[in-house]
């Protein structure tokens, strides 16, 4: 094998492919890439397995957003958490390519809030995660990823208008920090930066790992963790062809197994491997940061795509478990999400240059769960899918926070001079003209009475489904990241974070992975 190779290149033989290494890492995203670089530089033989394809920055830059969604997002961006109770269906968007979701993020880089780290240290007994203990890992990641403040000149007119409304209502926006250098504000971050200005791990940590001797195999689906007694000894799965079909079998024997598949696929892999037995927390405690956006129409041209996709935020409502975040997507994508059918939709789409957008997320309770597919025997076709089934039940206080979030966004836009706002309510507001409402209509609207199933909701932050803790009854991994009761099986991704963060998790995930990698490079490897 070469240093970076596609599994498609190894499909010529029907014989099972057998490989051997010191460390096998499943997943090449924000956490897996960090650990691969650190362990390879420590002299360990590292093999990285990635289900998705290798897509160069040049190729991404030449794709339309719709093509990127099909090529590099998991399930073409159509993964959903099944709603239970008074809960919206949540579209969970994840990258499926070399570099993982780090390639598809807006690049926002928050450190884990101190109050969250205090909670982990005090309520979860994880004293090593106290704020002062985590500082070196944050600093290391920020240095390696070139985290910088978004300059004022990269704010879009959409964000400037919202900031004007916020000032009128007595609160302010602060500039975001992002892992960028020489960003020109093309607003394509969620579809792969065409200019290599976003320092995602495919441009930073994975090249480091490769220079240190690590090998990366893409188009490679891991289906099982292999164990012998109470020790992990490798993984097995199938190589994928150009149509994403499972083909040649492979087995990797390793002295240490590290899972970095993310908040959905790490518990899926454990459950599919029969490792949920005796570990009741596997797949539970999933948090998603349910996110919503509001659009507003102004008389003046806004052209909100001119500027950084995510340039500013506000914590003014964090005491209500709300974080406000600027966002704007390419005009074609935005137009596709507007209300209306036929001529009504065409009229709405023609007004895209006059639209501003702002969003926000809820610091949610752990209402989600990733389910074992072996429990779905009565659901037929679902068993053939490699995607896990996830369910989510929104807590009462989270649902109230959603209403508050939407009202704040709408009121802020009206304070900025908007003619109307478009709330993320499927089917629109009763009596509203073509989906938009006036300030008077917003004041009269009881948002708590809108059925949650009618709310358009997204997430890019699945966390906590294999959370870290101090007991096997309440967590999946111990403070070192090792799965309870299984030697040499470690988890390093966002699934181990003990709770939601209330902020974008990229830096939290990478800092935690750095902490675990620095411990692992000092930990002797066992014999095979």
- The CATH class that applies to domain 149-188+288-368+393-459 reads alpha beta
pLDDT in tens, the chain (528 residues): 668 899 899 998 889 999 999 999 999 999 999 999 999 999 999 999 999 999 988 888 888 888 999 999 999 999 999 999 999 999 999 999 999 999 999 999 999 999 999 999 999 999 999 999 999 999 999 999 999 999 999 999 999 999 999 999 999 999 999 999 999 988 888 888 888 999 999 999 999 999 999 999 999 999 999 999 999 999 999 999 998 999 999 999 999 999 999 999 999 999 999 999 999 999 999 999 999 999 999 999 999 999 999 999 999 999 999 999 999 988 888 888 888 888 888 888 898 999 999 999 999 999 999 998 655 554 444 444 678 999 999 999 999 999 999 999 999 999 999 999 999 999 888 777 667 999 999 999 999 999 999 999 999 999 999 999 999 999 999 999 999 999 999 999 999 999 999 999 999 999 999 999 999 999 999 987
**Residue 451 backbone dihedrals phi, psi, to 5 degrees:** -55, 135
Q: Give counts: helices (H), strands (E), the chain.
A: 13, 21
pLDDT in the model for residue 382: 43
- Quick one: which of 51, 43, 62 has its CA closest to 26? 51
Q: At what angle do helices 157-169 and 396-415 cross, to 10 degrees?
A: 100
What is the spatial distance between Cα 379 and Cα 104, in angstroms, rounded to a whole number? 32
pLDDT in the model for residue 381: 45
pLDDT in the model for residue 373: 66
The average confidence (pLDDT) of the chain is: 94
pLDDT in the model for residue 433: 67
Q: Is 483 left (phi over 0), alpha (psi -120 to 50) or beta?
A: beta
Torsion sign (Cα): 179, 185, 190, 192: negative
Architecture of the 4-54+97-105+110-144+200-279+470-520 domain:
3-Layer(bba) Sandwich (3.50)
Please answer whether residues 159 and 326 qualify as being in contact, where contact means their C-beta atoms are separated by less than 8 angstroms: yes
For the entire predicted model, the pTM comes to 0.96
Catalytic residues: 461
- Domains of the chain by residue range: 4-54+97-105+110-144+200-279+470-520, 149-188+288-368+393-459
pLDDT in the model for residue 51: 97
SS3 content of the chain, % helix, strand, coil (to 5): 35, 25, 40
Bridge partners of 251, per DSSP, are: 18, 236
């Amino acid at each position: 094998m070469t240093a970076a190779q596609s599994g498609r290149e190894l499909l010529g033989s029907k014989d099972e492919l057998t490989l051997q290494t010191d460390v096998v890492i499943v997943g090449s995203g924000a956490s897996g890439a960090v650990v691969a670089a650190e362990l390879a530089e420590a002299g360990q033989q590292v093999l990285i397995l990635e289900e998705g394809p290798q897509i160069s920055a040049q190729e991404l830059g030449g794709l339309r957003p719709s093509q990127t969604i099909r090529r590099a997002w998991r399930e073409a961006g159509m993964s959903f958490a099944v709603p239970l109770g008074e809960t919206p269906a949540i579209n969970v968007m994840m990258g499926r390519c070399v570099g993982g979701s780090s390639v598809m993020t807006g690049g926002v880089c928050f450190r884990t809030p101190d109050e969250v780290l205090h909670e982990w240290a005090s309520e979860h007994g994880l004293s090593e995660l106290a704020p002062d203990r985590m500082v070196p890992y944050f600093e290391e990641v920020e240095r390696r990823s070139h985290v910088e403040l978004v300059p004022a000149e990269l704010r879009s007119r959409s964000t400037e208008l919202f900031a004007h409304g916020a000032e009128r209502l007595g609160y302010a926006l602060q500039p975001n920090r992002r892992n960028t250098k020489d960003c020109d504000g093309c607003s394509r971050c969620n579809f792969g930066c065409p200019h290599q200005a976003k320092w995602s791990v495919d441009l930073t940590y994975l090249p480091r790992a490769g220079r240190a001797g690590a090998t990366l195999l893409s188009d490679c689906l891991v289906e099982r963790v292999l164990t012998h007694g109470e020790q992990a000894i490798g993984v097995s799965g199938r190589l994928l062809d150009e149509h994403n079909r499972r083909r040649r079998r492979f087995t990797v024997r390793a002295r240490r197994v590290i899972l970095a598949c993310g908040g959905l696929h790490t518990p899926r892999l454990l459950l599919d491997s029969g490792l949920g037995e005796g570990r009741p927390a596997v797949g539970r405690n999933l948090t998603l940061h349910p996110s919503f956006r509001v659009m507003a129409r102004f008389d003046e041209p806004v052209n909100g795509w001119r500027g950084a996709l995510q340039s500013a935020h506000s914590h003014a409502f964090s005491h209500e478990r709300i974080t406000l975040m600027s966002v704007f997507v390419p005009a074609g994508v935005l137009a596709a999400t507007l209300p209306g059918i036929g001529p009504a939709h065409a009229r709405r789409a023609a007004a895209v240059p006059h639209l501003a957008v702002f969003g926000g997320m809820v610091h949610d309770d752990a209402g989600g769960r990733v389910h074992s597919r072996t429990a779905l025997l009565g659901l037929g076709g679902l068993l053939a899918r490699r995607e896990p089934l996830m369910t989510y039940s929104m807590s009462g206080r989270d649902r109230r926070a959603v209403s508050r979030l939407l009202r704040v966004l709408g009121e802020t836009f009206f304070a900025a001079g908007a003619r109307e706002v478009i709330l993320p309510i499927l089917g629109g507001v009763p009596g509203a003209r073509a989906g938009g409402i006036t300030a008077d209509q917003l004041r009269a609207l009881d948002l708590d009475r809108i059925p949650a199933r009618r709310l358009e909701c997204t997430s890019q932050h699945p966390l906590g489904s294999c959370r870290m803790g101090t007991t096997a009854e309440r967590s999946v991994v111990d403070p070192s990241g090792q799965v309870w009761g299984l030697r040499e099986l470690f988890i390093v991704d966002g699934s181990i974070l003990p709770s939601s963060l209330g902020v974008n998790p990229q830096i939290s995930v990478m800092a935690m992975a750095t902490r675990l990698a620095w411990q692992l490079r000092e930990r002797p490897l066992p014999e095979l």
